[in-house]
Chains A and B, each alone.
Chain A
Amino acid sequence: MKKEWPLWEIFIRSKSGLNHKHVGSLHAADAEMAIENARDLYTRRNEGVSIWVVESKHITASDPDDSDPLFEPARDKVYRHPTFYTVPDEVSHM
């Protein structure tokens, strides 16, 4: 009987200074192999400078059924966005 390799979630940093971003998942027997597979699957077109791998079972996800109590309350609180300030012209990158 064939035993499946565990699933890993792959995060790639596209260039120094940016965050690692989730790009997908793959199968691998261990973390080292997950890095190698990720290198071949997700960076072969020059997409990255750094790879993180996390075994999928270690990720805890929010329950879609909870989305109303979790996210609905934030929807009508526009004042939480910092959009009510006037930004001086001299300040760039805001």
Chain B
Amino acid sequence: MIKYLLQLADNALILGHRLGEWCGHAPEMELDIALTNIALDLTGQARSLYQRVAELEGLGKDEDDYAYLRDAWEFRNALLVEQPNGDFAHTLFRQFVFDAYNYHLHQALTHSKDEWLAGFAAKSLKEITYHLRFSSEWMLRLGDGTELSNAKLKAAIEDLWGYSGELATPNDVEKELAQQGIIPDLNLLKPAIEAKMSEVFVAANVGVAAGMFMHIGGKDGRHSEHLGFILSEMQFLQRAYPGLEW
């Protein structure tokens, strides 16, 4: 259970951090605020999850210990969320893939046998529903916009497609929890996620996404080189000044 909560938390924290990197750099002032708003939602979700992990572990740790004092191989986020921001199309497509998965996952998690997890999912679902609406709308705008925006979105899809499958491919932790009825069986969730994605792909005029080699391993701690750079930036202050608060 702890491993799974860390998966959820690390996805939210790392993606939130990536979105936060847009702060002050987004193509429009309004987008700057939209992206950081989503980042704050995700960071908030990560905090709740880390606090829950601390409670379950009972080792007297707090949320910061998990965020700032673990090394890369202990992080259980999917590879997708640690991929670099690239241009706005890359960030947006990464967000859309994550939101489509996250929305269906949290919808199912509201029926979890674990009461805390069901409550957490119900609360987060409201935020995630908006994230999916935001990223879906932008998929349409870019894909169905100009020739240039369509080309940029297609380039982003090509670059990131190989990371889109890991989220909904169950690892051992997820298989076990699914059997216990604590989380949904991802294989059963997959058709709904794929249906949402192809619906938006068709409307956005970027063709139908089809199978390809999928990178996996992030959920079990095997990461791309990008995570190390994120952590060295994110964790610098706590490492340099242990216990620092502000």
| A positions within 8 Å CB-CB of B | 5, 26-29, 32-33, 36-37, 39-41, 44
Asked if residues B28 and A5 are in contact (CB atoms below 8 Å), the reply is yes
Does B34 have its Cβ within 8 Å of any Cβ on chain A? yes
Please indicate the chain B residues that have their CB under 8 angstroms from the CB of A44 in the complex.
Answer: 33, 37
> Cα distance A36–B29 when bound, in Å?
13
Chain B contact residues, majority secondary structure: helix
> Cα distance A37–B29 when bound, in Å?
10
Kindly identify, within residues 22 to 36 of chain B, every residue whose CB is under 8 Å from any CB belonging to chain A: 28-30, 33-34
Asked if residues B34 and A32 are in contact (CB atoms below 8 Å), the reply is no
Interface residues on B, range: 10 to 19
> Cα distance A44–B127 when bound, in Å?
12
Asked if residues A41 and B33 are in contact (CB atoms below 8 Å), the reply is yes
Query: Which one of A33, A39, A41, A44 has the greatest number of beta carbons of chain B within 10 Å?
Result: A33
From B27, which residue of chain A is reached at the shortest CB distance? A2
Asked if residues A41 and B30 are in contact (CB atoms below 8 Å), the reply is yes
Q: What 6 A-B pairs are tightest by C-beta distance, nearest first? A: A37-B30, A40-B34, A40-B37, A40-B33, A26-B30, A41-B33
| B positions within 8 Å CB-CB of A | 28-30, 33-34, 37, 130, 133-134, 137, 141
User: How many A-B contacts at CB < 8 Å in the complex?
Assistant: 26
Asked if residues B141 and A33 are in contact (CB atoms below 8 Å), the reply is yes
Please indicate the chain A residues that have their CB under 8 angstroms from the CB of B28 in the complex.
Answer: 5, 27
26 residue pairs of the A-B complex, CB under 8 angstroms, read: A5-B28, A26-B30, A27-B28, A27-B29, A27-B30, A28-B30, A29-B141, A32-B137, A33-B137, A33-B141, A36-B34, A36-B133, A36-B134, A36-B137, A37-B30, A37-B33, A37-B34, A39-B130, A40-B30, A40-B33, A40-B34, A40-B37, A41-B30, A41-B33, A44-B33, A44-B37
> Cα distance A76–B169 when bound, in Å?
76
Please indicate the chain B residues that have their CB under 8 angstroms from the CB of A29 in the complex.
Answer: 141
> Cα distance A27–B29 when bound, in Å?
9
Please indicate the chain B residues that have their CB under 8 angstroms from the CB of A33 in the complex.
Answer: 137, 141
